[in-house]
Amino acid sequence: MALAKQFLKSKPVCKVTFELSGDTFTGKEVAVVGEFNQWSPTETLLKKQKSGGYKTTVELPVGQEIQFRYLIDGTTWINDDAADKYVPSGVSVDQNSVVVL
């Protein structure tokens, strides 16, 4: 798993790249689901890479802490090992990953 940030000088946003390696899980569809897309399981899908992993980049506003998780095949939730921190989800005993911008 990887979480990369690229802060833009021209506007107050950060390009955040969400990436999962193919050996992290077994599945055909991966989505990053979080506060930035109203927890939509279909809005932000990761694209399969030649390496077998999955990746996508999203522009997010700076100065915020944004909760997210990965959803595999619409059924399995996982956190990002590279997240800046973790907070209780408030829905279950699970925690959400957080990216701090």
Q: What is the pLDDT of residues 5-37, one digit of tens each?
A: 999 999 999 999 999 987 767 778 999 999 999
Q: What is the DSSP string of 45-67?
A: BPEEPTTS-EEEEEEEESS-EEE
At 25 the pLDDT is: 73
- All residues at 6 or more sequence positions from 91 whose CB lies less than 8 Å from its CB, including other chains: none
Domain assignments of the chain as residue spans, ordered by start: 2-100
- Give CATH for domain 2-100: 2.60.40.10
pLDDT of 82 reads 94
